[in-house]
Amino acid sequence: MKFSIYTYDSEKTSNVKNDLEQKLALKDFVHNPENPDIVFTIGGDGTVLKTIHHYMDAGILSDVKFVGIHMGHLGYYTDWLPEELDDMVNFLTTREIESYSYTLLEAKLCAGSKTRMRYALNEFTILNATRTQHLDIKINEQFFESFRGTGICVSSPTGSTAYNKSLGGAVVYPSLPVYQLTEIASINSNAYRTLGSPLIIPAEQTITLESENWDSTTLTQDYLQLDISELTAIKITLSDKQVHFVKRKSGLFWNRVKNHFL
């Protein structure tokens, strides 16, 4: 089996990485970062996000299965702890590997007739720290509301426990085919009104975001920042692209939410 290991905090994680490499070598795993079957990440959910974007950019995301090893507690994309390396290697070598898949969000960035696609595992946000951001929001090309405020967050089901949760959004079960739009500090007055509640939108519908002014606006794609200056519209929906993780056990999601937040 071909594998690769990613870690972005070398000091804290190098011992775990060395340990894992030795254990994998004893089981005939071959190091192949260009074309791996399994990618191990050592670190938190942020490390998983960075590694996923690496393989997305390399164009082989759908061929890879991820295994997350968290340094502190179990994260949302990480199923194993450093003290479980023997169990994990045993698990991977003594049974048929099953996987589960999480759906990405896709954003079509439109600049006149030119378009480019971007994908996020957690969320896209549009933020303006200095000006009141104006956004016209359409759902399936029908006008829904005019937003004035700091911005909005559009999150995937698995991203619902990340930035979306801090904004008062709902926690969504990961396999549901929906995505969520959450407001960031909307202005609500006699002059301006938004719905005010998070919206849960079915996968087959698209939201379109338009603004006459993107000055000092930031568009984020997970931990990345995208250039927005030339855009005429941003169209976001749930993608049919997915990221695959090795399945350890089922039924862990609500326990994870409980252990993480309560």
Active site residues: 45
Nearer to ligand NAP, 36 or 157 (CB): 157
Distance in Å, CB of 198 to ligand NAP, minimum: 14
Long-range contacts at 30-34 (CB < 8 A, ≥ 24 apart): 30/1, 30/2, 30/3, 31/2, 31/3, 31/4, 32/2, 32/3, 32/4, 33/4, 34/58
Among 39, 69, 104, 162, binds ligand NAP (CB under 6 A): 162
* Cα–Cα separations (whole angstroms), residue 31 to 3, 75, 85, 214, 215: 5, 25, 17, 45, 46
Among 23, 46, 89, 100, binds ligand NAP (CB under 6 A): 46
Select from 92, 128, 133 the least CA-distant residue to 246: 92
H helix or E strand, kind and range, residue 184: strand 178-186
Using rule CB under 6 A, residue 169 touches ligand NAP: no
Among 6, 40, 55, 76, binds ligand NAP (CB under 6 A): 76
Using rule CB under 6 A, residue 161 touches ligand NAP: yes
Nearer to ligand NAP, 51 or 122 (CB): 122
Using rule CB under 6 A, residue 158 touches ligand NAP: yes
Using rule CB under 6 A, residue 75 touches ligand NAP: yes
| Spatial distance between the Cα atoms of 217 and 114, rounded to a whole number of angstroms | 20
| Spatial distance between the Cα atoms of 200 and 112, rounded to a whole number of angstroms | 29
Contact 228/49 with Cβ under 8 angstroms? no
Determine the size of the site formed for ligand NAP (CB under 6 A).
16
Please provide residue 13's backbone torsions phi and psi, each rounded to the nearest 5 degrees: -110, -5
Among residue numbers 7 through 36, which ones bind ligand NAP (CB under 6 A)? none
Stretch that binds ligand NAP, among 137-145, 158-166, 194-202, 206-214 (CB under 6 A): 158-166
| Spatial distance between the Cα atoms of 78 and 99, rounded to a whole number of angstroms | 13
Among 143, 173, 223, 254, binds ligand NAP (CB under 6 A): 223
Contact residues for ligand NAP (CB under 6 A)? 44-46, 49, 75-76, 122-123, 158-159, 161-163, 166, 222-223
